[in-house]
Structure 1
Amino acid sequence: MSTLGSISGSRRARKKDRTRAEIFRAAMDLFAARGFDPVTVEQICTAADVAKGTFFLHFPSKAALLVEWDRELAAEFASRLRDPRDSALAQYRTLVDLLGEHWRRRPDATRALLPELLVPRAPDGSAPDRGLRALVEEVVLRGQERGEFRRNVTARVAAAAFLAACAAVFSTAQRGDPSEALRNELLHAQLHGLSEPKPRLKWTPSP
């Protein structure tokens, strides 16, 4: 390929990337303002100033936008988790803190989209393999293998409970929250539940 052809191809690629980013950004703004379900592809196209055909060149469906948000969030969180040799408990706390940090950056989008991760919405109907739910499952499995977490709860259920609890807490938090106290409360509820710890039985030697 000639130098001129390479430059032309590079420009087309950059334009394609910009268009995709504009569609994604417009969709996130609409989801933040109206929620996920009420927003239509037509509304996203209008906000991004693109034709409907252009939208489908970049995303096969509206659900694909949610999948991309989920994967981007999971990739960001995975890169910021500490050394995998750290305890699963520490990584669980880091996930709560990172979600809180993301909520502070984009509270409306997080409030609108986090509950949607509880439902598989990949374009082919399957759950995204590298999304936030899968990342939480990895942390739970690691904790179970090391004896930090009990094994009578599956990683799948634990990850779903984690996302559901975060979605519920963050959806009711005021702007500026979730505070450290609120994150600690969420973490404690996730790891210890609501029951009081049972008192240890004392052994009394026979007379």
Structure 2
Amino acid sequence: MATAGGKRERTRRHIYECALRLFREKGYSGTSVGDICAEASISRATFFIHFSEKAALVGEASRYLGEAWASFERALGVLPAISLLRHYIEFLFDNMVAPEISAPMLDDFRQTFSGNMAPGTGPGTMHYHATEIIIRAQDEGDVTSLTSADMLAHHAIRLVILYRTSPIGTPNETKALLWRLFYLGAQSTD
């Protein structure tokens, strides 16, 4: 069974990597499921075994980046949650898929799945990691507990996407602004 699960993950990752290449070449909106299938040398049925819609690729993008974040976080060592949260926001800004891909991809995800964020929020995703850090920051009293960690995680990710699309100044200036905006809205006044 481990072999079947490994093959499934490799196929899923292969589909995502082929889709990402096409998104870079043709744009997210200009790439169809058929294009992805042709690039990945798979049938449409195989695509739909792994992803319910093109928009569901958001979850794979988030898991892919979540793996990189987990390695980065381990290298940071033990930090207060609020410091880790700032590193998270900066990491996401520096490493997310280009905004010309991520913004339309996330918009399509929201339109396709409406209020159901489950396809992009499971274990190992960037949303999952943000939620875990925010829960710790809430427990440490640095982030408000009046708003759910889940909602604050969505807010942090969307804020990064918005400012990656329209940066203010240099990347470092934009990241500093992002942190101030997020923390001012999320700091504990409980």
Q: TM-score range by the shorter chain?
A: 0.7 to 0.9
Q: What amino acid maps onto 1:138 in structure 2?
A: E
SS of the aligned residue for 1:94 comes to helix
SS of the aligned residue for 1:50 comes to coil
SS of the aligned residue for 2:37 comes to helix
Residues 24-33 or 142-151, more deviating:
24-33
1:52 deviates by 2.5
**Residue in 2 that maps onto 1:71:** 63
Q: What amino acid maps onto 2:138 in structure 1?
A: Q
Between the aligned partners of 1:120 and 1:88, the Cα distance in structure 2 is 33
1:184 deviates by 0.1
Q: 1:101 to 1:178 in 2, by over 3 A?
A: farther
Q: 1:120 to 1:53 in 2, by over 3 A?
A: closer
8 Å CA contact 1:70–1:117 kept in 2: the answer is: no
Bigger radius of gyration, 1 or 2? 1
Between the aligned partners of 1:133 and 1:70, the Cα distance in structure 2 is 7
1:94 aligns with one of 71, 87, 91: 87
**Residue in 2 that maps onto 1:148:** 142
1:59 deviates by 4.3
8 Å CA contact 2:13–2:60 kept in 1: the answer is: no
Between the aligned partners of 1:181 and 1:30, the Cα distance in structure 2 is 31
1:62 deviates by 2.7
1:45 deviates by 1.6
> Does 1:134 pair with 2:128?
yes
SS of the aligned residue for 1:173 comes to coil
Deviation per CA, 1:75-133, whole angstroms, max 9, x where unpaired?
221221133x4111211111122112214x74543444455666785xx9734322211
1:34 aligns with one of 10, 22, 27: 27
Q: Structure 1: which 5+ residue stretches go unaligned?
A: 1-9, 194-207
> Does 1:170 pair with 2:151?
no
**Residue in 2 that maps onto 1:199:** none
> Does 1:182 pair with 2:182?
no
8 Å CA contact 1:31–1:113 kept in 2: the answer is: no
1:51 deviates by 3.1
How many residues end up aligned between the 2 structures?
A: 176
SS of the aligned residue for 1:140 comes to helix
Percent identity of the aligned residues? 22
**Residue in 2 that maps onto 1:196:** none
Between the aligned partners of 1:41 and 1:107, the Cα distance in structure 2 is 20
Residues 16-25 or 130-139, more deviating:
16-25
Q: 1:54 to 1:96 in 2, by over 3 A?
A: same
> Does 1:159 pair with 2:153?
yes
Q: What amino acid maps onto 2:32 in structure 1?
A: T
In proportion to residue count, which structure has more helix?
A: 2
1:35 deviates by 2.3
SS of the aligned residue for 1:129 comes to coil
SS of the aligned residue for 2:118 comes to coil
1:16 deviates by 8.1
